[in-house]
Amino acid sequence: MSGGWGPPTTPGPARRQGLTPRTTIWIIAGVAVVAVLFRIHKITTFEILLVCTIVPSVILHEVSHGAMALFFGDDTAKRAGRLTLNPIKHIDPFGTIILPILLVLSGVGAIAYAKPVPVNVSRLRNSRNSSVVVSLVGPAVNIALAVVLGFAFKALVVGFNARVDAVNGVGGIGAQLLFVAGYVNVLLAVFNLIPLPPLDGSAVLERLLPASALPGYYRIRPFTMFVPLILVVLDPSALQHFFFWFEIHYASAIGVPVNG
């Protein structure tokens, strides 16, 4: 999933961001891997949809951070050319392409992240409060997308009494796409609301801390990002169970039957 809104940054003059040769190679490699695996039946249509829907969802998540920061007076993301839906501007070769493919193949689920949108907290009006809003708008956008996609699924699929079990990859491609896109946004929202830096939920924790505790918090913040990775390494099934719990509850909410 997206790593959320990270520490305040102040980039230099805006640079023209394009598709670098390195990024192009990563994209071609990722597409080639998916194509080969699909051809030899090592990856399902459902899993391909997971990878394909998480990329635009992560990008919308990141763009919303920059747009809200602009609303509160910080145009850093705008000057960096990051207030765009052009995926090329946001792709992190490993985090946006390779990582979700590897996780889907391992059966864990799908986590991805884009390049964090730069935000200069010192330029925000009422910075301590508005920075919380800037952080939480990403998960809020994912929740809104999940709700809209859920209603669309119920209206277009369940409403027509279509025989579909989208959780287990059964049914028309359109039904699976709607379900997977909604499910991915649920996971992005939930994961990013964990109050652990650099995830978005940590902004709430930071706001609640007294000013005297902030220097110590800032010292340990760069290292907390490794905690989830360590937990997954120690117990690889933990993340899978975490994802599956939300999958079945989201499926139940929109009327999708779950087998097993």
Euclidean distance between CA atoms 4 and 196, whole angstroms: 10
In which residue are the tokens 């192009």 written?
24
Q: Using alpha carbons, select from 244, 205, 203, 256 the residue that is nearest to residue 68.
A: 203
60 and 67 in contact (C-beta within 8 Å)?
no
Active site residue 62: yes
Please identify which of the residues 47, 62, 206, 247 carries the catalytic annotation.
Answer: 62
Euclidean distance between CA atoms 191 and 224, whole angstroms: 15
Question: Residue 121: which residues within 8 A CB-CB, separation 6 or more?
Answer: 8, 74, 127, 131
- In Å, how far are 71, 197, 202, 224 from 208, measured between CA atoms? 23, 14, 10, 18
Give the active site residues: 62
